[in-house]
Amino acid sequence: MKCTTIEEALNNYKEVTHLYLKGEECKKAYTEEIEKFTNLKSLHFLPNIEEWSTFPEGFKKLELDVLHISGVRINELLGMKIKHLGIQLAHIDLVPLCKNFPDLEELTLAFGNAEFSIPKEIEQLTKLQKLSIKQGTLTNVADEIKNLTNLKSLELHGLGFEELPIQFATIPNVKEVTLKNFYMLTTLPEEIKNWKVLEKINFKFCFKGREEKSFEDELFIEDTPNTLPTAISGLKNLKEIRLEFCPIQNLDPIAELSHLEEIHITQAKLNTIDAVKNLINLKKLDVKNSYDLNNVDALSELINLEYLDISSSKITDLEPLHKLTKLEFLNIKGCTLDKSNFNVKNALLPLYNFENLKTVKSSHLTKEEWIERDKNEATKKKFSPEEIIAVLENKDSNLITIEEVLNSIGDMEFVFKVNKHDAYDSTLKIPVLDTIVTSYAEKLSEETLKKLISVSFADTGMADSYEVTTIVIREFIKRKSVAGQNHVVNAFINCMKYYDAGHRYFGSTVHDQLIDNFLPQFEIESLAKLILSVGNGIKHPEYGDGICELYAPAFSRMKEDNTYEAEIVSDFTNFIFENVDESIILDIIDDVLEEDISNDTREVIVKIKNIASRTHKALKSESASDFEIMLKDVLNGDLPSYLFNDYDLERSFENFNIQELSFDLLHKVFDYTFFAKSYRTLNNLNKVLFSLNREKLTTYLEDISEDNEEVTQMLIKILDYKVSTTEKKYIDKDAYESFALEFKYKLQGKSKEDIARELAEKKEAELKKAAAKNQNNKLKEAFQQSLANGDNSIFISESKKVISEELLNDYSFDMSNFTTKLLINSLMRGDFNSAKNVFLNFTENLLPVVGMSHKTDDVASNAIVLAIMAKDKEVESLVFEKLLPKDFKAKDVSNEVLAFNLSCYYAKNEKKEDMLDMIKQSLNLGKQAKQFQTDSDFELYWQDQDFIEVLEA
């Protein structure tokens, strides 16, 4: 069982096997009850990085196999028998680690920004099977690393070198190597051929020219790609290679690695995969996002291939795969050929009889379509572009042959050598095709006509506009073919997949002609299908594509067939009221009423028009009376029943009537009615209420509350609540608050002079409060930025700015607290210069202005650590001169961490008497004797009798 809190773990102490503690939760682990976790095998102990942490004694008594820690020194862990250890700390003392943990099988080290080296003692980890080193700058690797004969896995992440240290290539039995974030890596040493049993090698964000970039900058694609290092050709037993986000253009060095079974390449710059053509044992090839790759000819003989991902490439032809009958998975999403259902099916024909191919990933082919494919299609005669054109040009061609070639057209541009973008704002004419389809339109089968739609009207960005599409649509209209018209509607909806509403040409493209001419002539089933499938954005007459114009012919056709009447009326009403603040919307209602529609429908539409007109007038007016009329429509339920029920207005307003209207009720209208569906509508409502008609609204509310103390008090309470909770994004909050306060004071019987004075005082207090908050926020933001990226200059600059202004807050605690955390952060990163800078800023600039607080002891405590680690006498002097009392005694120290660190300082400087006194005080404050017996700062005194007596006292 895995737990993430101490409470959860204690409640399940017999079952818990994995415990993951982070941040503040770590502080709860310092309890003897931890010893109950007798079955615990894996622990992550990750306290806040701003603090040094001791390791809870209870965990040391458990038989842990796996331990991951941060902010805890090695000496805290001595005596534990751990198999898997992960440490995140700038200065990891590797020598005692190698000497004292002989049972380690897995080791993960993260050094932050610190420099480090791998000592010769590494050879003592004789059982080590996996070594991961992350972050930091590697300066040296001991030759003895070659003696790690049991090491099977090596992971190196961002260690700052341009060439892989040769010593790593001497590890004899490594089977898997991972290199990540080596942006300037240029080559690999020839010595890697010594990895004779290496089976897997992984690269991520590697090789010269690669910079750390975000997806917003570019898709990790380099302008000047590189060649895969030639040394890889020496890895004769390699079975798997992975390259992720590496600027590699070709794979030549792997051409003779005959044992390769898997190749994974993501977001490279591949323009050829010719190097794999002889890798007959290859089972898995993943080259997704290889945007320049335009053919798979090299795969034609790889008969053992089971998995192929060529998504987001320029592949147009799958014919080279026709022998690869062991294929089980194929991903062609985003390929050049993946642009329509017909095009995909046509490209897949060579693979139709592959029994093992269960999964085909495509944007235009469903899983069901692939499973239910007609395998006989693969045997149908295929025509080349030249053969297709020859048949179409031959006046003696018979209908059967013509249908065969029309059904074999795949890519229009490829077959007819045209560029579809030449159509611009009209249709692209292909005379040889248009003429034959026009001549035989009445005779062509419906399936052939539907296939012509599939191949000519498929671009998901609405870029297809061929004349032949209009010829076929006219024929479907003439035949009154619902199936054919539904096929056109489905194609139209698919074409809008990546199309942004409001960008039609308003010319004579297929898109334009469909909306303006063809769709109004469709049968009601097909027309309703379209209207109900598209959103209000594309329906809009100005910023959309004007599909709202189809409501009128739809209502007209429903006079004879009212199957879809309820759905269309509901959709129409929703569209009208979402845009009810726009005058043009009322014109759309008039267009519908001009049609020959049923009496029942007309009655509903007229009612919608009346309510919409009153609502529109209220939104555009400055008169509270206009708003009241509109509000009555809502409160009285004077709406079509489907709309009324849809928004549950009856339940919301059953206890109200217009005579009891209050300020609160006005807001309930916003919360519960259809007006809240439109931001523009909501915004306009608030303008009416809070900005444009303040006096009339005040009068209106006064009339409600006149001579009624209960209503008056209710309104005052509501006003207070609404001012404090209403979000500024919904209203002009300044105008709202001003109005609300004035009205509140008026209800309380205050004079205009009293109101003006109190408003001014309130405003001044708010401005001062806002300024203080802003000042504090800027300081806190600067601290957080420095903490995140290790650049203390951001905080230093802002803190100087704050103390140079009027101090609007008491900063004695904050300045000490922020300085302490930045000190710890820099120490953990191994950045002593940054640590010193933030400390000097505190002592020289901040302390004289903001003064001391109890948190100043923490600054002193960590500055002592800095002085010891960096051997910095200046820091040492400043601690004693400015942060500690003059001639202070050990008993004067009340901070246990400061007492412990001072003990370390005295020990390192061989001031024995002072050290012993401070150790006594540390013990009095709660430190454990074992901490002094294991910390290497006290190593000189471990056999000293006086030292021992103090600890045993």
Half-sphere exposure of 777 (CA within 13 A, CB side): 6
Identify whether residues 482 and 515 lie together within a single domain: yes
Task: Among 597, 620, 643, identify where a domain stops.
Answer: 620
Q: 323 burial class (0-12, 13-18, 19+ CB within 10 angstroms)?
A: middle
Identify whether residues 544 and 616 lie together within a single domain: yes
pLDDT of residue 226: 74
User: If you average pLDDT over residues 106-129, what whole number do you get?
Assistant: 91
- 3-class DSSP state for residue 446? helix
pLDDT of residue 771: 78
Asked which of 148-162, 273-287, 727-741 is least confident by mean pLDDT, the reply is: 727-741
User: With contact defined as beta carbons under 8 Å apart, do 809 and 775 qualify?
Assistant: yes
Identify whether residues 554 and 508 lie together within a single domain: no
Asked whether residue 508 carries a pLDDT value surpassing 60, the answer given is yes
User: Do the domain assignments include residue 390?
Assistant: yes
- Smallest CA-to-CA distance from 329 within 286, 377, 379, 282 is with 286
Identify whether residues 848 and 920 lie together within a single domain: yes
- Residue 362: both structure tokens together: 């495509």
- Smallest CA-to-CA distance from 402 within 379, 371, 365, 433 is with 433
Identify whether residues 940 and 819 lie together within a single domain: yes
Asked whether residue 735 carries a pLDDT value surpassing 70, the answer given is no
pLDDT of residue 392: 93
* 756/760 Cα distance (integer angstroms): 6
User: Do the domain assignments include residue 707?
Assistant: no
Query: Looking at the chain, how many residues does it have?
Result: 953
* 741/732 Cα distance (integer angstroms): 14
Q: 417 falls in which pLDDT band (50, 70, 90)?
A: very high
Asked whether residue 430 carries a pLDDT value surpassing 90, the answer given is yes
Asked whether residue 682 carries a pLDDT value surpassing 80, the answer given is no
Identify whether residues 938 and 814 lie together within a single domain: yes
Task: Please indicate whether residue 651 or residue 482 has the higher confidence score (pLDDT).
Answer: 482
pLDDT of residue 691: 37
Task: Please indicate whether residue 665 or residue 296 has the higher confidence score (pLDDT).
Answer: 296
The average confidence (pLDDT) of the chain is 83
* 82/41 Cα distance (integer angstroms): 10
Task: Among 620, 640, 663, identify where a domain stops.
Answer: 620
Identify whether residues 545 and 500 lie together within a single domain: no
Question: Which structural domain, as residue segments, surrounds residue 588?
Answer: 534-620
Q: 758 falls in which pLDDT band (50, 70, 90)?
A: confident
User: Do the domain assignments include residue 594?
Assistant: yes
pLDDT of residue 733: 52
pLDDT of residue 651: 36
CA separation, residue 268 to residues 287, 289, 738 (Å): 8, 7, 60
pLDDT of residue 931: 82
* 291/311 Cα distance (integer angstroms): 9
Identify whether residues 559 and 499 lie together within a single domain: no
User: Do the domain assignments include residue 198?
Assistant: no
**Number of separate domains in the chain:** 3
Give residue-wise pLDDT tens across range 163-179.
899 999 999 999 999 99
User: Do the domain assignments include residue 564?
Assistant: yes
- Residue 626: both structure tokens together: 């206009």
Asked which of 653-657, 774-778, 899-903 is least confident by mean pLDDT, the reply is: 653-657
Identify whether residues 808 and 923 lie together within a single domain: yes
Task: Among 469, 502, 522, identify where a domain stops.
Answer: 522
248-252, 641-645, 681-685: which is most confident? 248-252
User: If you average pLDDT over residues 558-571, what whole number do you get?
Assistant: 90
Q: Which secondary structure element, helix H or strand E, spans residue 307, and what is its range? A: strand 307-309
The backbone torsions φ and ψ at residue 235, rounded to the nearest 5 degrees and listed phi first, read -85, 75
Give residue-wise pLDDT tens across range 204-216.
988 765 454 443 3
Which residues, other chains included, contact 200 with Cβ-Cβ below 8 Å and sequence gap of 6+?
175, 176, 177, 238, 239, 240, 241, 242
Asked whether residue 467 carries a pLDDT value surpassing 70, the answer given is yes
pLDDT of residue 32: 87
Asked whether residue 190 carries a pLDDT value surpassing 60, the answer given is yes
Q: Give me the percent of the chain exceeding a pLDDT of 70.
A: 84
pLDDT of residue 663: 38
Give residue-wise pLDDT tens across range 142-166.
999 999 999 999 999 988 788 899 9
* 734/740 Cα distance (integer angstroms): 10
Identify whether residues 488 and 599 lie together within a single domain: no
Task: Please indicate whether residue 478 or residue 28 has the higher confidence score (pLDDT).
Answer: 478
* 116/136 Cα distance (integer angstroms): 7
User: Do the domain assignments include residue 100?
Assistant: no
pLDDT of residue 414: 86
Give residue-wise pLDDT tens across range 783-826.
888 888 889 999 999 999 888 887 777 888 889 989 998 998 88
Identify whether residues 541 and 511 lie together within a single domain: no
User: If you average pLDDT over residues 377-403, what whole number do you get?
Assistant: 87
User: Do the domain assignments include residue 269?
Assistant: no
pLDDT of residue 667: 41
Strand partners, 360: 330
Give residue-wise pLDDT tens across range 587-616.
999 999 999 998 988 998 998 888 788 777
Identify whether residues 496 and 610 lie together within a single domain: no
Asked whether residue 371 carries a pLDDT value surpassing 50, the answer given is yes
Give residue-wise pLDDT tens across range 868-896.
888 899 999 999 999 998 888 888 888 88
- 3-class DSSP state for residue 483? helix
Q: 182 falls in which pLDDT band (50, 70, 90)?
A: confident
User: Do the domain assignments include residue 457?
Assistant: yes
Asked whether residue 732 carries a pLDDT value surpassing 80, the answer given is no
Task: Please indicate whether residue 134 or residue 776 has the higher confidence score (pLDDT).
Answer: 134
Q: Give me the percent of the chain exceeding a pLDDT of 90.
A: 44
